[in-house]
Structure 1
Amino acid sequence: MLENNHKTIGVFVTSAHEEYQDILCRAICERAYEIGYNVAIFANFVGFGEQKYEIAESNIANIIKYEDLDGIILLSDTMVVKDFRSKIIKNIRKYSKCPVVSVRQEIEEYQNVLIKDNTVLDEIILHFINHHKFTKLNFLTGPEDNPVSIQRLNTYKRILTEYGIPIEEERIAYGDFWKLSAYDAVEKWLADPNIYPEAIICANDYMAIAVCNALAQRGVLVPRDIAVSGCDNIEVTKDIIPPITTVGMPVYDMGREAVDKIHRQSKGLPQEDISYLKFITYIRESCGCEMEKNAKDIFRRRNNIIKELEDRDETISKTAYMSIDLTGVTTLDDLNNRLASYTYLNEGFSSFYMCLYTDWDRYQSDKEYGIPFSDREVSMEVGMKNGQWLQKVQFEAKELLPSIYLDHEPQVFYFNMLHHREKCYGYTAISFKKLQSYKSSYQGWLTNVCNALENIKIHSELNRLVYKLEDISIKDELTGLYNRRALHTLGQKYLDQCIKNHSNLMVFSADMDNLKYINDIYGHAGGDIALKAVASAMMNASEDDEICIRLGGDEFSVIGVEYDKEKVIQFVNKFNDAIQRFNKELAYEFKISISYGWGITKANENTTLEECLSVADKRMYLQKYEKKKRGL
């Protein structure tokens, strides 16, 4: 884990850039720093239905050694990425022995920081009934199987029952805690006079804002015609027109309490398994009430929104250019160099690390690789800290980051996977000068990096394929030696090298004397064995990058550089010894007979490869002639 002599709390979250998650993480980090803990935030992004993307995103849960964590905080209600939560829980149960705290969703086997979702909307619903005298209350909740949705819907039903207001199922709609479902619900309710609402109560603020927009598109004014309320008190609810009546969770306090629960448990101090925190109801104009306006506060928020929109537009433009620029990257070094100028798009960062598994470009999937992420070797390809480039370094993945670059004070890092669809290449770590998360644009920024890595991987694979095809085209299939095509390509390169260095080129020519006899008597299978034996003898005699070639049929050649007579004799002796060993083994009924010749040429600009070959060939044919003359 982060090896700087501080304990480390691991935080698991989806969409860390969202307002609720950002506030929670900042509170966690602030409290952890106060009492001397590092914080490692393992974050991922939603894939919007792209399953392979989310499979890889969920693997951020697998990059660490859980046994090395000193505390774990689960932001459980944010974990909408497929398999993310199940992977974490599985790893905790298998490896972890540290305190575990779940925030906003109860997990019975761990400590929990909760609000009472079954009462969170009480004050708003009672406000509609008692203050505004509404009885036609429609309810937009979240997904049917979501615990928070269920509890908030039960609150609605409970209070209506207590006040004798009939529960009409047509007035209830199930949404997605996001924006799209609101439009369908509004269209349904406005189309039927029997379920036309006086107020629409939403289970979260995003849906409430979307309801206001959907009503406005249909000429229905909020709150004059229909009142609207939300839940969660996200920042923008104060700034839209009309400001949204909502309920605020004590998000900041929840983050601090999660850290305190870990600290108390690690110290053996007594505490309740569940910490319940109080919520706050904010009555604003969307329900029909007047709201006291603070001109200075409104002016400040307005300016902040304008600046944020300007910054977002600029970041989108620069991220788009980054995508175009990185399209042409084909090497890792090129990518590393270009990231120097693009890392600064992540406003306010203090350090950034791009860590790749050492063989990231060699495998197609985690299952194919066969080794857990946390057991691999990692190369820190890019490292920037306080404006300075850091030297590349390799380290064990279980360390997360190289200890030599960590400060001695408690650290905070956000970790994200680097991947292309389901293929994981490594991860990034980023920290900031102030306590903050990255912006929403970080997902696009990382995607650009991941696409560039995929381009590099494809380019590398194509180069390997081209090399393999080239190798096949110049290799003899039977013996594995080079073929005649290589004689004129590689042979010429060796000659050019000798001319440049004013050194000797050696050519060795060999021709089997009895291949036809072996083929006629023992068949071509026997002939193939003999040819392979000659090839093996040549390879055995070659110890200095010689080129061994089968020219065709029973003809062979060897080309070497920086040879003298003594070196040639050593080569010939080793070659002959190998042939004699084959003949003495008695594994086959035939013996190999071979004629050879060699030549050494002091190369110059006028030397040709054909001349060098001719010298060796003449001596080889002379030896063959002498054998026939002696009847051998």
Structure 2
Amino acid sequence: MKKTKRIGLLINDSYSDYELELTQGVLDCCNDNGYSLLVFPIEELNTNYSPFSYQKRSITSFATENNIDGLVMASAVLGNFVSKSELFNYLLEHFSVPKVSIGIDVPGVTSVLVDPKEGFKSLIEDLIVHHGCKNFALIDVMEGNVDGQERKQIFLDTLKEHNIDFNFENVMTGRFTYDSAKDAIDNFYNKKGHFDFDAVVSLNDDMAFACIDFCKYHSILIPEEIKIVGFDDAQRSSYELPRLSSINQQITSQGYKATEALIKIINGESVPEKIIIPTQARFRQTCGCVDTSNTYINYIDVTKVKHFFDPEKSTSKMSEWLIKKPQVEKLKYLNSSLQVKIDINQLRKDYVTSIRNFDVHAAALVLYENPVSMPECFYDFPIPDKAYLVSAFDDDNGYFMHENDPFIPFNPQKTMLPGLFFSKSKKRQYIYPITDANLQFGYMIYSFGSYDEMIYSFMNSIYSRLISSTHETIRLEKERQKLEEKNKSLNVISTTDEMTGLLNRRGFQTFGQQAIDLALRIKSFGLVVFGDMDGLKFINDTYGHEMGDIAIKAEAAILRSSFRTSDIVGRLGGDEFAIVSPGLSVNNFQRIQKSIKDKCDKYNRTSGHPFTLSISIGYADFNQENYYLYDILSKADVLLYEEKKNKKNSRR
């Protein structure tokens, strides 16, 4: 059962400017009211930036009354690529806890809404009235997006009020992203052959930045030759040169007021169905209100008051990079661990050590009893009824799960974590699924520290791959163990050589090829060894076949004792033996070869038999390009022939 008051935040990602400001507002209100915050970053609905990014939505199955008291939903960014009805169905049917929506008016749900008209209209009017702009271009977004349609209509209505006709051929359509706008602008320029507007109005800042970079590339002066404005007032707007004129939506205030309303709902208090927050125009260099040589003014507001940069908060790009470079270096080190295959116990030990390096003071790693396959895009994830808390620590509570402690079994359908975690934390906590392709392995929950939010997002991806790799290693090791057990029981099946107890030709070819295939699947290597006894015909002809059989059994015993129990050792017939040894290097084989010779010499000295025991050996390696056992044996046979020839020459 849930043991602390907790607010959930359903959001697009954990690192963009909008999400950071919104999350801060929610967190501030949570801290002011004694709640903790759990963030669910799930990307936009109906949009997959990679084939399996839909897996991120699985964590919403934990947004229940067992884990949270209520949910703040960043509906505007989540619904960028779905219709209103699809968005409403998802938000209303999927979540049963008390809810508040931000950015979109959801039926039956208290909604914090932004009125873009006041701010956006004043920004466009400034271009018309104070800067004399008449020839406009618009960087639009695809049809169906609610925010885009509303902002576009304000733009068109404002032009109409000032008797300016808009040429709809001057529309470039993006998807609220830098890359989509860049492509749209390039396509427009290549088709029209010009970009000679008085002003370009972009429906968000990311697309405005694409326009700024386009103008820089084509030596179009901003704002002398063209003026550019955006919408959102992203942090980059204040620091990019020239600085972008934009619309501030008071995002932090949206998050605070939404959380404040949600807490009142949880406590049984009444709240209005709609909470309206106005936008504010911020005039900077790209519209011409601030001179491009002025580095002190951040923006001018609609009342013409100048707002200057706070020196304590202003950080240059160089100093920011110097701060973040060590963070990236740690990511690089963490990623290198993917090259090393580790077991689950080593994973537990490394998890705590490495995650603390990223200034994380509370974290929990949960793995399902068995991975869950989710082959299709989904909105409802069937949480398994059994999982294990594998690793956890919470510095605020003084809790630490030692690497040797047993896993803690629990039912994640009832609670996302067993016991009391994160109850005293005043930091935002994030829940991320652990996935690889269509498989779900479990999830991680941790509190962000002081590092850049993008670093934590990458860190989660790296851990997902590492845990997936660990799981695959464990699975393949189990297969190898099964194969080894099968090798031990071969004396009772038809693949056994009756005389020596080794595999016969059929058994060796079957299990030898399996051993090669398994080794290559875990990116290992090895050798195939081919041996031929020296002088067996002489022994049979001189001392009889009974003595020849003794020699064969003795050589088989020496070979068996010289290789590992997991190696595949067989007698191909007569005086021929072969071995498949995964992981065996040439240097180690040469030591084994010397050991075989020493054991034969010792046998000859101590056995009392009249014959001399000896074997000639050749070898060939197997790899991703050379993996057919029959072909590898043929190569080993060539080297064996060379050794036999050298032995004959040395006797002359």
What corresponds to 1:43 in structure 2? 41
In structure 1, the partner of 2:140 is 141
CA distance in 2, matches of 1:293, 1:52: 44
**Alignment match, 2:62:** 63
Q: Which residue matches 1:358?
A: 369
Give the Cα–Cα distance (whole angstroms) in 2 for the partners of residues 252 and 56 of structure 1.
28
**Inter-partner Cα distance in structure 1 for 2:81 and 2:482:** 39
Asked whether 1:3 is paired with 2:3, we answer yes
Which residue of the partner structure matches residue 285 of structure 1?
285
Q: Which residue of 2 aligns with 1:223?
A: 223
Q: Structure 1, residues 220-278: CA drift from partner, whole Å, max 9, x if none?
A: 11111111111111111111111111110111110111112212323443332111101
2:456 matched to 1:458? Answer: no
Distance 1:289 1:388 in 2: 55
Distance 1:456 1:264 in 2: 45
User: May I ask how many residue pairs the two structures share in their alignment?
Assistant: 478
Distance 2:123 2:295 in 1: 20
What TM-score, normalized by structure 1, do the two folds share? Answer: 0.68
Q: Superposition pairs for residues 375-454 of structure 1, below 5 Å? A: 375-386=384-395, 389-391=400-402, 392-397=407-412, 398-407=414-423, 412-432=428-448, 439-454=453-468
The amino acid of 2:210's aligned partner reads A
Match of 1:325 in 2: 337
Return closer, same or farther for 1:327/1:56 CA change in 2, 3 Å cut-off. Answer: same
Change (3 A) 1:45 1:94: closer
Which letter maps to 1:429? Answer: I
- 1:510-563 deviation digits (Å, cap 9, x = unpaired): xxxxxxxxxxxxxxxxxxxxxxxxxxxxxxxxxxxxxxxxxxxxxxxxxxxxxx
Supply the distance in 2 between the matched residues of 1:63 and 1:339 (Cα, whole angstroms). Answer: 23
**8 Å contact kept, 1:55–1:83:** no
> Any conservation in 2 of the 1:11–1:39 contact (CA below 8 Å)?
yes
Offset of residue 427 of structure 1: 1.0
Q: Distance in 2 between matches of 1:374 and 1:52?
A: 21
Preserved CA contact (<8 Å) 2:227 2:287: yes
Whether the 8 Å contact between 1:66 and 1:95 is mirrored in structure 2 is no
Distance 1:42 1:208 in 2: 29
Match of 1:152 in 2: 151
Residues 481, 406 of structure 1: alpha-carbon distance in 2 compared, 3 angstrom cutoff: farther
CA contact (8 A) 1:382 1:390 kept: yes
Report the Cα distance in structure 1 between the residues aligned to 2:173 and 2:475, rounded to whole angstroms: 48
Distance (Å, rounded) in 2 between the aligned partners of 1:187 and 1:96: 42
- 1:2 and 1:203 map into 2 onto residues whose CA distance is 42
Instruction: Return the index of the structure with the highest Cα Rg.
Output: 1
- List gaps (5 residues or longer) in structure 2: 298-307, 503-652
Q: Do the aligned partners of 1:124 and 1:281 also contact (CA within 8 Å) in 2? A: yes
Counterparts of 1:157 and 1:409, CA distance in 2: 48
Q: Kindly provide the amino acid, as one letter, of the partner of residue 248 in structure 1.
A: N
1: CA distance, partners of 2:327 / 2:80: 25
Q: How far off its partner does 1:145 sit?
A: 2.4
Does the CA contact (< 8 Å) of 2:427 and 2:448 recur in 1? no
**In structure 2, distance between residues paired with 1:256 and 1:405:** 24
Identity %: 16
Secondary structure, counterpart of 1:112 in structure 2: strand
Change (3 A) 1:85 1:16: farther
Residue type of the alignment partner of 1:131: H
User: Residues 464 and 480 (structure 1 numbering): CA distance in 2 closer, same or farther, change over 3 Å?
Assistant: farther
- How far apart are 1:73 and its partner, in Å? 1.0
The yes-or-no answer on 1:23 pairing with 2:21 is yes
Deviation string 1:270-293 (CA, Å, 9 cap, x unpaired) is 332111101111111110122675
Question: What CA distance in whole angstroms lies between the structure 1 residues aligned with 2:89 and 2:400?
Answer: 38
Return closer, same or farther for 1:158/1:45 CA change in 2, 3 Å cut-off: closer
Over 3 Å counting, the alpha-carbon distance change for 1:244 and 1:409 in structure 2 is closer
SS of the counterpart of 1:311?
Answer: helix
Kept after mapping to 1: 8 A contact 2:118/2:279: no
Rounded to whole Å, the distance in 2 between the matches of 1:425 and 1:114 is 38
For 2:331 and 2:452, locate their aligned partners in 1 and report how far apart those are by CA, in whole Å: 14
| CA apart distance, 1:164 | 1.9
Superposed CA offset, 1:144-200 (max 9, x none): 221111111111111122222112111111112111233344445556478721111
Structure 1 partner of 2:250: 250
**8 Å contact 1:55–1:422 — kept in the other structure?**
no
Q: Deviations over 1:426-454 (max 9, x none)?
A: 11111146xx7961022221222111112
CA change 1:136–1:260 in 2 (3 A) is same
Residue of structure 2 in register with 1:131 after alignment: 130
Note the alpha carbon deviations across 1:356-382, whole angstroms, 9 max, x for none: 11334xx54489xxx965452232222
CA separation of 1:125 and 1:188: change in aligned 2, threshold 3 A: farther
Q: Which moved more, 1:168-177 or 1:30-39?
A: 30-39
Cα distance in 1 for residues equivalent to 2:388 and 2:2 = 16
Q: 1:236 to 1:189 in 2, by over 3 A?
A: same
Moved more, 225-234 or 459-468: 459-468
**1:414 to 1:230, Cα distance in 2 relative to 1, 3 A:** same
CA contact 2:182–2:207 (8 Å) conserved in 1: no
Deviation at 1:15, TM superposition (A): 1.2
Give, in whole Å, the separation in 2 of the partners of 1:2 and 1:169. Answer: 55
CA contact (8 A) 1:416 1:427 kept: yes
Specify whether residues 18 and 345 from structure 1 end up closer, same or farther in structure 2 by C-alpha distance, changes over 3 A only.
Answer: farther
Is contact 2:13–2:43 with CA below 8 Å preserved after alignment? yes
Cα distance in 2 for partners of 1:312, 1:253 equals 28
Deviation of 1:216 after TM superposition, in Å, equals 0.4
Residue pairs, 1:548-559, within 5 angstroms: none
Q: State whether residues 137 and 197 of structure 1, in contact with CA within 8 Å, keep that contact through their aligned partners in structure 2.
A: yes
* Larger displacement relative to structure 2 (246-255 or 439-448): 439-448
Q: How far apart are the structure 2 equivalents of 1:306 and 1:80?
A: 36
1:250 maps to amino acid: Q
* 8 Å contact from structure 2 (residues 2, 66) kept in 1: no
What amino acid is aligned across from residue 368 of structure 2 in structure 1?
Y
Give, as a single letter, the amino acid of the residue that structure 2 aligns with 1:60. I
Displacement after TM superposition at 1:409 (Å): 7.0
Residue of structure 2 equivalent to 1:339: 351
Q: Secondary structure at the match of 2:370?
A: coil
Give the whole-Å Cα distance in 2 for the aligned partners of 1:36 and 1:354: 25
Could you list the runs of 5+ residues in structure 1 that have no partner in the other structure? 490-632
**Going by fraction, where is helix more abundant, 1 or 2?**
1
Q: Distance in 1 between matches of 2:96 and 2:79?
A: 26
Change (3 A) 1:85 1:26: farther
The offset of 1:84, in angstroms, is 14
- 1:403 counterpart SS class: coil
- CA contact 1:186–1:211 (8 Å) conserved in 2: yes
Q: In the aligned structure 1, how far is the partner of 2:82 from the partner of 2:364? A: 26
Q: Aligned partners of 1:90, 1:475: CA distance in 2, in Å?
A: 59
In structure 1, the residue matched to 2:483 is 469
Change over 3 Å in CA distance of 1:373–1:87 after alignment to 2: farther
Letter of the aligned partner of 1:112 in structure 2?
A: S
CA distance in 1, matches of 2:80, 2:490: 52
Contact 1:16–1:437 at 8 Å: present in 2 too?
no
Q: CA offsets per residue over residues 27-73 of structure 1, 9 Å max, x none?
A: 11221222222322112458995544212112121234356532111
- Paired residue secondary structure (1:196): coil
Who is 2:175 aligned against?
A: 176
1:310 aligns with 2:314: no
Contact 2:362–2:447 (8 Å) recurs in 1: yes
Determine if contact 1:66/1:96 at 8 Å carries over to the other structure.
Answer: no
Distance in 2, matches of 1:20 and 1:417, equals 22
Task: Report deviation, 1:307.
Answer: 3.1
The separation in 2 between residues aligned to 1:92 and 1:80, in whole angstroms, is 10
Closer/same/farther in 2, CA of residues 88 and 203 from structure 1, 3 Å limit: closer
Q: Check conservation: 1:205, 1:231, Cα contact below 8 A.
A: yes
CA deviation after TM superposition for structure 1 residue 298, in Å: 6.8
Deviation of the 1:412 alpha carbon: 4.2
